[in-house]
Amino acid sequence: MFAIVNGGEVLGLCDKPRYVAKNQNGVLVEVNVENAECVALGGTAYSLDVFSVKELDCSELVFSQGIKLEETSKNTDDAQDAICILSEDIETRLADIEDALCEMSATEEEE
């Protein structure tokens, strides 16, 4: 498996990179790696001056994605906890407002 990489960020994955270059008419055609100007991924050509092709060991990819998934799951749990705390705080404030309104209403009725 191969990764198309820019600055350490993976743009995409492919089983076999498709190297392309412009022919004399300016049309991109598939070429061997030695003559390549770009690598094609998903119908888009990415310049090899900016992007690189890195062969991956699939286990390395699975491991790194597993770590990212674990971090995302933890962040999601943290966000859910924060929302629950905020929700409880809002419910408490609403209850305080309702109590205050009831007290005001009772005071007005007494007068």
Contacts of residue 4, Cβ cutoff 8 Å, sequence gap at least 6: 10, 11, 12, 13, 14, 17, 39, 41, 46, 51, 52, 53
Number of domains in the chain: 2
- 6 and 49 within one domain: yes
- 109 and 80 within one domain: yes
pLDDT score recorded for residue 111: 65
- 50 and 12 within one domain: yes
User: In which domain, by residue range, is 34 found?
Assistant: 2-55
pLDDT for 34-65, tens place per residue? 999 999 999 899 999 999 999 887 777 678 77
- 76 and 36 within one domain: no
Residues 36 and 53: their CA atoms lie apart, in Å, by 12
pLDDT score recorded for residue 53: 94
Residue 51 tokens, joined: 């992007």
- 76 and 51 within one domain: no
- 12 and 44 within one domain: yes
Distance of CA 105 to the CA centre of its chain: 52
What integer best gives the mean pLDDT of the chain? 89
- 76 and 104 within one domain: yes
